[in-house]
Amino acid sequence: MIKQYFVQYSYDSIINDFSLPNEMFKSITVGIRDIETDFLFTFVQNMFSFPVFFVLESVILEHIERVILEKKIPSYKFASDGFIIKIDSVDTLEVICDCTVDLALNGFSVYIFFGQGLSEGDLVPTSNWDKPLEFKILDFEKVDTFIDVHEVGLTIFSDNDKYNSPRKVTDYISKAYLLDIENSDI
């Protein structure tokens, strides 16, 4: 059975989860039940060139940290269990997409950044239970696109004209998935 996905402009409640510069990014939600590695891997590979940065805010699942260490994936560790990984190869992208999906399906968010002049140290998130997530050091002028991966899909924040509308985003999703037009802003 082919999995369906929908694409919509994001609701304010999703946008307000992050402390981002006002009016800088358009926000689009891609919803898919039980996100899978091939969906995320194909999406990121189709959308971006290397390097791409993944922020694993909480690697509470020990096997993910073990994978990062065993495969000798260069990473920047922050906090007790957070990693920022600069991805510059297809092989590393596939491994980290697999880890990302595992985290997302267990209720943890992972953030993906693409832009010019980004570095690992700039992407350290600051979160408090009563405030939106912040990236205090990050110069958002360098960010082309920021993606929040969660258990029911993705939220894309972008100022890039290539994918700043629901219709444009569908061009980057694998044809193995079917667009639910009835629930999409197309």
Bridge partner residues of 6 (DSSP): 31
What are the sequence ranges of the domains in the chain?
Answer: 4-13+25-183
Torsion of CA 19, 44, 42, 82, to 10 degrees: -70
Average pLDDT of adjacent 10-residue blocks, the chain of 186 residues: 88 66 82 92 96 88 87 88 92 96 91 95 82 86 93 91 91 94 91
pLDDT of amino acid 86: 96
- Cα-based angle 55, 120, 50 (whole degrees, multiple of 5): 80
pTM: 0.92
pLDDT number for residue 74:
92
pLDDT of residue 12: 64
CA distance 15 to 18: 6
Question: What residue has token string 């091939």?
Answer: 38
